[in-house]
Amino acid sequence: MNNGPLSDIRILSVSEYGAGPLTTQLFADLGADVIKIENTTLGDSGRYVPPYQSGDDSLFFQSVNRGARSVAIDLKTPEGQEILGALAAKADAVFTNIRPRAAEKLGLTYESLKASNPGIVAFLLTGWGRNGPDSARPAYDYLVQAAGGQMDLNAEEGEKPRRSATPWVDTSTSYVSAFGLLTAIHHARRTGVGYDAESSMLNTAMTQWMYLSTWYLTHGYEPDRLADSSHPSIVPCQVFKLADGHVMVTCMTQQFWRNLCEALQVPGLADDPRFATFTDRRENKKELVELLNDAFEKFTRDDIRTALDGRVPMEIVRSFAEGLDEYRTKHPEAIVTVDHPEFGRIEMASAAISSQGWETHPTRGPRWGEHTRSVLLEAGLAEDVIGSYVDKGIVKVD
């Protein structure tokens, strides 16, 4: 029995690839009933992403569709729209990340759905906004990183623009969208009236600038490209080279700075008036970093951890594999394991939310149209009607 905190919520998800499915997977991980509506021609495009891909499934798809039920329906047909209405009548929300015009054409708006369910929320995850001048343009994570300025500042001086190693626009937008969708469902339940709601990849990306956007919008401040992953105003707060690797150090308080001076044992550093305050250190960053570079290069990874850990915020810069291996070792409870008929045992990072107050049991992502028959029966369609729809290509069953 699923006693997840969202087990009383049902969401129809017409979404594909990354940000959309990840949003509803967050709900599924916490117990919600997520019914994934796929087309009848190819299904979710994420099913075909290499390298770990077989037939109409892939590990990419499995990474963002955990716990959903798949229903394959041709929403472009009148019968498909009737089925959508029947499903919407028993759902809290319809969620989609297709472009706004396409969502309207497929009846995925509150105006189209309210006759079936006046309390339903129609939530649209857009790339560039529902009504803006770019609303009809396709949007993907890397494009938004380029448009928002992040790709430019990720690079160091003299380098060409560089994307982030992770699809952070997708993941951030997913968490923002999940919060927005849950808020909308709560409000609609309280008022009894549904409505359209939306999130935007671009809006989410721009909020990630935090104080930098405030500085620019208020005072016209433009940050420089910075070397060594350094902070724009706090010094030292950056990566330093070690004898056998690299370390990230962050001196966010005066006490941390004093502790660093003591640990590195650089003569005169702690009393040097050029570096006494935050402002002093920022104004004399070049000279300070040169001194610190010489000091850090004498330490190994093990030595610097012994010298700084517990006294100065620091972390060894790990490789991708090192980071995941250590995470799996230290936090085994945060790894989700599911069995898959094609891929065998799949291990994935969890939703990063847990509590002693509930238990959930994640399941693998669905096969394309795996639950079409059972979900349509739940919606009240007769077996012979479903059979005729299968014959006509209106629905697909696995």
0.85 surpassed by pTM: yes
pLDDT band at residue 1, thresholds of 50, 70 and 90?
very low
Average pLDDT on 378-395 reads 97
Average pLDDT on 240-261 reads 97
Confidence at residue 353, expressed as pLDDT on a 0 to 100 scale: 84
Q: In Å, how far from its chain's centre is CA 138? A: 18
Q: Please give the class, per CATH, of domain 10-207+353-396.
A: alpha beta
Q: What is the pLDDT of residues 144-195, one digit of tens each?
A: 999 999 999 999 888 999 999 999 999 999 999 999 999 999 999 999 999 9
Average pLDDT on 89-110 reads 97
pLDDT band at residue 356, thresholds of 50, 70 and 90?
confident
77 vs 4, 83, 239, 333, 368, CA distance in Å? 36, 10, 57, 45, 19
232 vs 243, 250, 274, 275, 277, CA distance in Å? 26, 12, 18, 16, 16
User: Does this chain's domain 10-207+353-396 share its CATH topology with 227-241+246-316?
Assistant: no
pLDDT band at residue 2, thresholds of 50, 70 and 90?
low
pLDDT top residue among 353 and 202? 202
Q: What is the pLDDT of residues 298-308, one digit of tens each?
A: 999 999 999 99
Domains of the chain by residue range: 10-207+353-396, 227-241+246-316
Write the CB contacts of 19 (distance below 8 Å, at least 6 apart in sequence). 97, 125, 141, 169, 170, 171, 173, 174, 177, 201
Alpha carbon dihedral 381, 387, 391, 395, in 10-degree steps, equals 40
Distance (Å, whole) CA 267 – CA 273: 13
pLDDT band at residue 354, thresholds of 50, 70 and 90?
confident
Confidence at residue 57, expressed as pLDDT on a 0 to 100 scale: 98
Distance (Å, whole) CA 301 – CA 217: 41
What is the CATH number assigned to the segment(s) 227-241+246-316? 3.30.1540.10
Q: Is the model's pLDDT at 3 over the cut of 80?
A: no
Q: What is the pLDDT of residues 165-178, one digit of tens each?
A: 999 999 999 999 99
